[in-house]
Amino acid sequence: MLSRALLTATLILGFSFSAQAQDRTFDVGVGVGLPYTGVGASGRYYLNDTSALQISYGCVGWSNTISNLCGMGASYEFTGFHPNDVDNRHAIGLYAGLAGSKLLVNYEANERYFRSVYGAGTYYNFYRNGFGNRGFHIGASTWIANETYHNKRALKLAIHLGYRF
């Protein structure tokens, strides 16, 4: 219940701030993938025209114990690294936070439960209307996460999609 309340509050605040702010110092987005902590929403604060800090809240799965599958992430995203990208459509980001879940089974007690998996990674975004403007973006992510309680690490790759308001 707390998960849904936080997600709703993020969306409401983001819509109200992005509607009032003409200089785009703050906006909100929704999407699927690493920058959105699974299926979720994010609030972004623009440091300048080419970089931003982002906090996201999302869910990486669904179960009866949904609190184990929802969480937060933080990222820093920047553009302007390519000299021919005058519209700032290409961006690179760094992410840390909830990156997935792991199903654990206790056969003796006949129990199954999910464990949150945290990680860090990088991602690339292509902004159709340019960084800092409303519109869709698509990208690719790679991250490393602690997948099991045996401290084995796994490198993951995925595609993500979102919309900035």
Q: What is the pLDDT of residues 31-85, one digit of tens each?
A: 999 999 889 999 999 999 899 999 999 988 776 654 568 889 999 999 988 777 7
Q: How far apart are CA 82 and CA 84, in angstroms?
A: 6
Residue 9 scores a pLDDT above 80: no
Per-residue model confidence (pLDDT) at position 2? 46
Q: What is the arithmetic mean of pLDDT over 140-150?
A: 76
- pTM for the whole structure: 0.75
Q: What is the Cα–Cα distance from 42 to 126, expressed in whole angstroms? A: 17
Q: In whole angstroms, give the CA distance from residue 85 to residue 28.
A: 24
Residue 40: burial class (beta carbons within 10 Å; 0-12, 13-18, 19+): buried
Q: Outline where the chain has alpha helix (H).
A: 2-20
CATH, domain 2-164, list 2.40.160, 2.60.40, 2.30.30, 3.40.50: 2.40.160
Tell me if 70 sits within 8 A of 116, measured CB to CB: no
